[in-house]
Amino acid sequence: MINIIQEHNLAPDAARAAAEQVAQKLAKEFDLVCNWHGDVLKFERSGVEGALTLLPQQAQMQIKLGMLYGAFAPAIQSKVAEKMRKVFAAA
């Protein structure tokens, strides 16, 4: 399980736009299907599922990896954390 917490000072609409940027990058790279459920962006595909939850000052990402992707967890965590840092800080 990968857990990433990114602090931000964004208004709700800007935080949602930042989350969309992260989701689009992940969807393209890992062929994920993404759907909003309130303030939670859920994503999945065979072997990967997770959610990006938007809170007032924080974005929380949880990713569950199946056996095939489990070996790549450190690289995936590093890549996703860097993308979240850039997107939420720059927005």
- Annotate 36-56 with b (16+ C-beta within 10 A) or e (fewer): eeeeebbbeeeebbbbbbbee
Which residue type is seen at 8? Answer: H
The pTM score is 0.88
**Total tally of structural domains belonging to the chain:** 1
Tell me the per-residue pLDDT of 4-32, one tens digit each, with 9 for 90 and over: 999 999 999 999 999 999 888 888 888 89
Tell me the per-residue pLDDT of 34-69, one tens digit each, with 9 for 90 and over: 999 999 999 999 999 999 999 999 999 999 999 888
Which residue type is seen at 76? Answer: I
Per-residue tokens: 27: 């969807």
pLDDT at 90: 64
The domain of 13 spans: 2-90
What CATH code is carried by the domain that includes residue 77? 3.30.160.110
